[in-house]
Structure 1
Amino acid sequence: MERSVAERTSAEQLAITLREAITRLGRRVRQARPIGDLTFSQLSALTSLQLAGALTPRELADVERVQPPTMTKIIGKLEDRGLIARTPHPSDRRQVILAATEEGRAVYAQFEKARNEWLARQLAELTPEERDTLERAAAILHQVARA
């Protein structure tokens, strides 16, 4: 059954409003991080390695959507700090695999904790009804993301 023009317009307007809100919230959550000297790019790369488990430098550059020379610099800074380590690739001796070290995982955990604490403080200021609405919305957003 085809949707009416009004239903399509309503869904399109909701898409715009929702995308803008999610973008703003995502940006604000990313800004909530422990004070330190890691850049957003370095934190992002460390996060990608933490979530993926291990990646080649090229895969990491692709995930982060940066050029390989840029990723080489980021990897160097993270290695210098002992946050990531290289291991030989199991099937291609020309390649290496990057993974977060124990210290890198600890930095990532601090980063996640700071973001979660910031968001929890914001949510605590809402009414119970607003938090219930967001809980239902989160379930729906997960459903939309799987589609």
Structure 2
Amino acid sequence: MPELSSPEDAAAINALRSAVMRLSRRIRHHRVDESLSPTEMSVLGTLFRCGPCTPSELARKEHVQPPSMTRIVALLESKGLVTLDPHPDDRRQKVVSQTEQAQGLLEEARDRRNAFLAELAETLDPGEWAALRAAAPVLEKLAHL
């Protein structure tokens, strides 16, 4: 693991943090359903990537407390975006699954946000685009640690 203690490393970390936060805010403006919070969309995205899971598993993956996830799941269920089914091995637990409506919403949101990012990427020169493409897997890794 690299030691990140030089002034250059500190400046790079600061620039990365600032750029990621600013870009994230810009991407969030391209929402499909204004009634869903970013957290609710994130939970739906986790269900899409990971498949059905218990509220406790979702809470761990989303880095929120279980009572908060219980409220989020209840809101998503009331909007018809998730279903709760009995756990196959533990009847005390439920399994959260996304609905077809949620899948459509996620696809539309992804398409809209990807189109926005593609517009931005078109302004890059070939070297910048190559560097960004190479960095994408690393950023993905950081996002899911």
TM tier relative to shorter chain: 0.7 to 0.9
Equivalent in the alignment of 2:75: 77
Equivalent in the alignment of 2:105: 107
Q: CA deviation at 1:142?
A: 5.6
Equivalent in the alignment of 2:52: 54
Aligned-partner residue type, residue 106 of structure 2? Y
- Pick from 110, 125, 128 the counterpart of residue 127 of structure 1: 125
* Stretches of structure 2 lacking an aligned partner (at least 5 in a row): none
Larger Rg: 1
Q: CA deviation at 1:94?
A: 0.3
Over 3 Å counting, the alpha-carbon distance change for 1:144 and 1:68 in structure 2 is closer
Q: CA deviation at 1:96?
A: 0.8
DSSP-derived class of the 2:6 partner: helix
In 2: Cα distance, 1:100 partner to 1:66 partner: 19
Q: CA deviation at 1:53?
A: 0.4
Percent of aligned positions that are identical: 36
In 1: Cα distance, 2:140 partner to 2:110 partner: 23
In 2: Cα distance, 1:133 partner to 1:69 partner: 41
Q: Is the 8 A contact 2:52 2:96 kept in 1?
A: yes
Q: CA deviation at 1:35?
A: 4.1
Count of residue pairs the alignment pairs up? 141
DSSP-derived class of the 1:34 partner: coil
Q: CA deviation at 1:112?
A: 1.1
Deviating runs (4+, > 6 A) in structure 1? none
In 1: Cα distance, 2:74 partner to 2:140 partner: 38
Equivalent in the alignment of 2:34: 36
Aligned-partner residue type, residue 101 of structure 1? T
Aligned-partner residue type, residue 74 of structure 1? I
Q: TM-score, normalised by structure 2?
A: 0.79
RMSD: 2.8
* Stretches of structure 1 lacking an aligned partner (at least 5 in a row): none
